[in-house]
Amino acid sequence: MTGPENPALPRGFPPNGKDAAATVYLRPLGSPDGFQHCEVLIRRPGGTLTVHCAKDDVVDWARAEGGALANHISALIGRLAAPRPPFAGLALDRPLIMGIINVTPDSFSDGGETPDTASAVARGRAMAEAGADILDVGGESTRPGSRPLSADEELARVVPVVRALAGDGHVVSIDSRRARVMEAALDAGAVAVNDITALNGDEQSLAVVAERAVPVILMHMQGRPQTMQENPRYDHAALDIYDELGRRVEACLAAGIPRAAIAIDPGIGFGKTVHHNAEILGRLSLFHGHGCAVALGVSRKSFIAALGRGEPVTDRLAGSLAAALHAVGQGVHILRVHDVAETRQAFDVWRAIEAARSPHE
């Protein structure tokens, strides 16, 4: 699979010291389940070398080079191939749908639709009936340019909704970046935390999740909601975000949160241009290298309109489903969506087609 446009894997790698500053990444071509071909990305100070080859070739290359590279590739392939344990008590043998419930007047996609407890609870129950596996309750809009919310306002919005939906027996997560809100929502019956700051926005949040022993979704965001879209920059968006999420995973592990309780989300639209978003989506399977479940939110986001015909939020279902189906084909485990029934139908059809395929394809 090498040639003029696809160079061979380099010889004389880390053991001789020439490439001591290099980092090697591995992206399965498609879902990581039983992958046979991959993209190897070798990042050096002067740029990134990309090689497409068979997984067996990578294994042979690493063994021949020996040393740290052999250990790194062995561990990386092990994490990529390992089955993920249940998340929030839910098996990850199929894509999970996380229904978005914004108890806000100003969210980008559905602001004002569920501004109070009664409407939010009704939305959550309808989502569960339509096939949502997890109900994600948030009380603060984090759209670009949004205003910060006080903890008291956020608590007043989300706690009654969490209590009602959890009381119905639904699996509920709390979408918050504040430790105080996380604690109150967990007390009210939430069983997982979804944090856009990857437990880095509140100095107490890491301890809260560790002490409560609950699963967490760590999302990547460059900057803050108020300014994140002003001029986001990356050297290589997918690799930069992979590295940053890796550091947050390591912080969680050090705090006593097991890898099995961690999901990572590259944060589409949070401090990213349209080009960055496309680059990340094109390399989603890379993120399995951390050995965690992978979550994703693409529903109704502005990049869909930017890549399409400028459609308003209410007309982005087709683009949302296209991105979601691409994601599950890359092995993404949890999709955060607004349109639950439509996404469930799309996933059911996708799964049936996948099940009918020849194993030799």
The gap from C-alpha 94 to its chain's centroid, in whole angstroms, comes to: 16
With beta carbons less than 8 A apart as the criterion, state whether 62 and 77 touch. Answer: no
On the 0-12 / 13-18 / 19+ scale of CB atoms within 10 A, 94 is middle
Could you list the active site residues? 301, 336
CB atoms within 10 A of CB 229: 18
DSSP E strands: which ranges in 103-243? Answer: 134-138, 172-175, 192-195, 216-219
User: 67-81 and 55-65 are packed helices; what angle lies between their axes, rounded to 10 degrees?
Assistant: 150
CA distances from 31 to 96, 239, 318, 329 (A): 16, 18, 22, 6
The two three-digit tokens of residue 194, written as one number: 């979804």
Residue 336 bridge partners (DSSP): 98, 297
With beta carbons less than 8 A apart as the criterion, state whether 8 and 51 touch. Answer: yes
